Amino acid sequence: MTEGQLRVSRGTFLRNGAKGGLVLATSGGILASATGVAFAKGVTASDISTLQVGYIAESLAVKVYETIIANFSSFKGLQNKDYFEHALQNEKDHKAAWAKALGSKTPTGFSLHIPSAAVASTHALLGTGVALETAFVETYLGAVESFSSTELKVAAAAVASNEATHFSFFDAAFGGHAVLPSFPGTLAASKAATILTNDGFIS
């Protein structure tokens, strides 16, 4: 495997990722809690499943950002630690809001892992960040299609905009243009757990 070449590639996520959604938030913090929205009148089993996927995805995001911060000095040339600290707070806010909204339906019994190839070098790390954040943006846009209520659709769209800022940071540092397509795609819901498990992030 060459540097930056990961099983969790951008292409894999674009083809096989999952729809999900997160609390209404921006880089400035939470704008509205998902509590009382996630289980609003008419919530469906699909909505709950999507929220659960969002919780697992945010658990992974928190672990990735915590790992980066804890090992920041070992990534040669990596800059702007404050970005990672603020992005971590975004992901923690998302995860906490999802857990509060899901209550007893919050997923349990899964373990998170970061494959060594994903953080083998600064270049590999940045590539992983691009892949994950691209997936998150398209995942939350996909939730706009799948959620049953306007409140959840608005929350998903808002979080997609938050995750787009994270994508831009990683993509610029990776040598890209830090710009998503004019109309980003959406991701299919059903394969999220399978993809994350197959790529070594969740068991």
Q: Where are the domains of the chain?
A: 14-198
- Going by C-alpha positions, the residue among 43, 54, 39 that lies closest to residue 95 is 54
Instruction: Please say whether the beta carbons of 24 and 158 come within 8 A.
Output: yes
29 phi and psi, to 5 degrees? Answer: 125, -175
CB half-sphere exposure, 168, CA atoms < 13 A: 11
Alpha helices in the chain (DSSP H): 10-16, 45-70, 81-102, 122-146, 150-173, 192-198
Rounded Cα distance, 30 and 24, in Å: 6
Rounded Cα distance, 25 and 101, in Å: 15
Which class for 35: exposed (0-12), middle (13-18), buried (19 or more C-beta within 10 A)? middle
The architecture CATH gives domain 14-198: Up-down Bundle (1.20)
pTM over 0.85: no
pLDDT value at residue 191? 53
Instruction: Please say whether the beta carbons of 152 and 47 come within 8 A.
Output: yes
pLDDT value at residue 34? 33
pLDDT value at residue 61? 93
Rounded Cα distance, 100 and 180, in Å: 31
pLDDT value at residue 140? 85
Residue 180 falls in which region: left (phi positive, over 0), alpha (psi -120 to 50) or beta: beta
**pLDDT averaged over consecutive 10-residue blocks of the chain (203 residues)?**
37 32 33 36 76 87 94 94 96 84 83 87 93 86 85 82 95 95 76 64 71
Q: Take residue 29 and report the two structure tokens written for it.
A: 């913090």
